[in-house]
Amino acid sequence: MNKKNYVEYVDVLRVFSMFAVVFLHTAAGSLRGNIGSGTWHITNALTTVFSTSVPIFFMISGAMLMRSSKTESLKITYTERLPKLIVPFIIWSTIAVLYFTPRPIQITNVIKSILYMPNQAATVHLWFMYAIIPLYILSPLLKKMVDALSKELIKYMLILWFIVSSLLPTIAVLVPNELKPIFTLYPNFDMNFLGGYIGYFLIGYYLMTYEKKVSKRLLLSIIVIDTFLIILGTWYATVKIGEYSEDFKAYVRVFEVMLSGSIFLLVKEYFRNYSMNPFMFKWIQILSAFSFGVYLMHNLVVVYIGNRLNIWPAQSIWMLLVAFIIITVITMIAIIIFASIKITCYPLTGMSFKEASRTCNIQFLWGNWTQSKDIKNDNVSM
């Protein structure tokens, strides 16, 4: 598998995850109202697949960082990679604080919310930043570790993570209360170093470097069966407690680990013997460049548009899809504009203006569009 194909399937996964996470937050209100309606069931099914977006983001980050020789450098980590995460995170958190602070704004409340940022996310979707930043901080150590470990030991570590952080907690949630202690580890049985999202980080690297072919039919079967189980499980748990339950969609539950990993592998296997045409590949790269900025901004647009279109809960799946399209378009246009202005580019997108000029700002997009039209015209005239 050549380097070009690596970029292709990673960018495809990143673009999928970008759109999927926007849909998840657009649909959040619809899952918490009109339970059992046709709209609710369709939304439940769609969000089952799209809930893999966050695990896939973790896997992509782990795969790309563990693959790069630059990851060992503390200088690059602290002068290049972490600032690209932290600066936009702080800026968008501050914007969220200003947006959500009750009117009239009292400066003391704003200052208090900003000072509380290390302990409390300014808006719900920014929890991801509190999980990914520590992994970037640890990435030089993790890089040294995975380079030193054999494939078997990496597999052993992932199996331990799966058992401790995914399998046992999943069983504990599903069994009756009197059986929960059987599957809950004693607090002093300390395996916290294998907890959280570090497993996804390393799974991404493991799957990217796994060179044996995996049957696409097998992967598709796992995806279909797992998706069906999550849909039914979510419906059952929701009806049982009388409100929307995310037990089956929790990011570190067995069901999500299996589904996310299978989708990652399926896309990788598909691009083992397939390469996109240059036109499509170019636009996938462009959309991929938007992903971080779109993630940071989209929920503010979701709240603003959702309140004005009264989509919580949406009265129909069509209204939900229209809202999703509107929110996505507005967010992407805003990120393009921010990336096209030097003073806003880095603080709001995490990209340098030079990088944006090569990938996704207005000047680049216009040049790419005119070039694409010229290529099409040349093909027609041949």
Q: Rounded distance, CA 300 to CA 145, Å?
A: 38
Q: Is the pLDDT reported for residue 371 higher than 70? A: no
Q: Domain map of the chain by residue range?
A: 1-50+276-382, 53-273
- DSSP string covering 69-82, please? GGGG-HHHIIIIIH
Give the mean pLDDT of the chain.
Answer: 89
Judge whether 133 and 166 are in contact, CB under 8 Å.
Answer: no
Give, in degrees to the nearest 5, the angle at Cα 60 between 56 and 61. Answer: 120
Q: What sign has the CA pseudo-torsion 170, 173, 174, 177?
A: positive
Can you list the alpha helix ranges (DSSP code H) found in the chain?
Answer: 3-27, 38-50, 53-67, 74-76, 82-100, 107-115, 127-148, 151-161, 168-174, 198-209, 216-241, 254-270, 278-309, 317-339, 342-349, 353-359, 362-381
The length of the chain in residues reads 382
Q: What is the pLDDT of residues 195-237, one digit of tens each?
A: 789 999 999 999 999 888 999 999 999 999 999 999 999 999 9
Judge whether 263 and 203 are in contact, CB under 8 Å.
Answer: no
**Worst-scoring range by mean pLDDT, 121-130, 181-190, 196-205, 337-346?**
181-190
Q: Rounded distance, CA 99 to CA 122, Å?
A: 10
